[in-house]
Amino acid sequence: DKVYHDVDLATFVTDHHLKRGEGVSFTTVIPSTTPWSSMIRMESSCTTVDVFVGGNRIYSYGDDNYKNGDFVGSGYHFIDLPDNSSGQRIQIVMVPTESGLVSSFYPVDIIPAEDAFVDFGSNHMIVGCLGIFLAEFGAIVMLLGLASLLGLKNSAQFFLIGAASFLLGLWTVCVTKTIELFSLNFTLNTELEHIALFLAPIPILLLIVENRKSGNQWRRGIAYFAVLILTVFDIGAVILHYTNVLHFPMILTCFHALVGLSALLVIVANLEKRKKMSAEYKIIGFGLAELLLCGIIEVVRYNMQRYLYGGNSDFSITVLPFGMTLFIVLVLIAYVYGHYRETLAQMERE
């Protein structure tokens, strides 16, 4: 194991990406001004966590899963400090459970116990609430989409928009750790985060195809083939993860590349001259473009945070939920405008 002294975790970066089992130990002295009833709040990402105060282990997470080869999740740890622990030596040992994922660490805070969860909630209020809204909105819209059985127009688009909103909302709630307000099962939370992320591009890409009904069948065939490849990848990723062959975080780079390729194929196969586009399609097309741009920004942000600035809060805010919200607004505008044009045309015919 490596031991580092006098480091600021907000800026600290190891000299290489740590391998599985390559432990890191951080040691300091608990300030003498620490209140009697205090907690340690820290975030871990696919690492085991062991905390020692005065030489005694007070907290352990992930050791059993790690030894069994199972997945170790990510999340915020809220650890009660023993009474009168101020001035004592504290040691935190973290062991990566996956190779090549860890090169930086999140800050460790010692705060009054009564403020720990309040402060946590306030730090995640905006993005977390936005994620909850997107998930609930998506679930409602998916139910409306199922009204296709009743012959509702554009039901497929409704369902796909709802599915994209629900999945990105669920991913947002998980990635911001807001889900810990409801569940402290780090493994399940992290698995939901990755499953939602892996599935989210599928309804978005299908929506691009569905919004262009005309055109050559081979173009649509290429687009559907790209979606099929992504679907097969998702199924394979789930199998590899739950058989402990290759866990979700290790597949992310391949996922990013495959989504980029699939999106490129779908977009190129469904390009249409602007003059031939209806006004509604132009609006939705703009929304899809800004959503894809947000996806690219998210990939860059994720890799910068993961490998360069793990503890820097400036890189912890995702733009995807904001992009999805804007997309929903644009879709609503497009459908309202389309309905207005249809009503106006019908009135002119009469």
Over residues 147-177, the pLDDT tens digits come to 765 665 667 778 888 999 999 999 999 988 8
At residue 277, the pLDDT reads: 62
Q: What does the block give as tokens for 113?
A: 């116990």
d(C-alpha 30, C-alpha 20), whole Å: 29
Rg (CA), the chain: 24
CB neighbour class for 205 (10 Å; exposed up to 12, middle 13-18, buried from 19): buried
d(C-alpha 278, C-alpha 210), whole Å: 14
At residue 169, the pLDDT reads: 94
- pLDDT-based confidence at 212, cuts 50/70/90? low
Q: Is the pLDDT of residue 294 over 70?
A: yes
**How many CB atoms neighbour CB 69 within 10 A?**
10
Q: Is the pLDDT of residue 62 over 70?
A: yes
The mean predicted confidence, pLDDT, of the chain is: 83
What's the pLDDT tens digit per position in 310-332? 555 556 678 889 988 998 888 88
Q: Is the pLDDT of residue 57 over 80?
A: yes
At residue 226, the pLDDT reads: 84
Cut 0.85: pTM above it: yes
d(C-alpha 320, C-alpha 301), whole Å: 11
CB neighbour class for 71 (10 Å; exposed up to 12, middle 13-18, buried from 19): buried
Containing 96, the helix (H) or strand (E) segment is strand 89-96
Q: How confident is the model over 25-29, as a mean pLDDT?
A: 88
Q: What does the block give as tokens for 95?
A: 């062991």
At residue 231, the pLDDT reads: 93
- pLDDT-based confidence at 268, cuts 50/70/90? confident
Q: Is the pLDDT of residue 60 over 70?
A: yes
At residue 139, the pLDDT reads: 92
d(C-alpha 265, C-alpha 206), whole Å: 12
- pLDDT-based confidence at 207, cuts 50/70/90? confident
- pLDDT-based confidence at 243, cuts 50/70/90? very high
Q: Which of 66-75, 107-116, 133-142, 224-233 shows the lowest per-residue confidence on average (mean pLDDT)?
A: 107-116
d(C-alpha 128, C-alpha 72), whole Å: 23
At residue 26, the pLDDT reads: 87
Q: Is the pLDDT of residue 308 over 70?
A: no
Q: How confident is the model over 243-267, as a mean pLDDT?
A: 88
Q: What does the block give as tokens for 87?
A: 């001035």
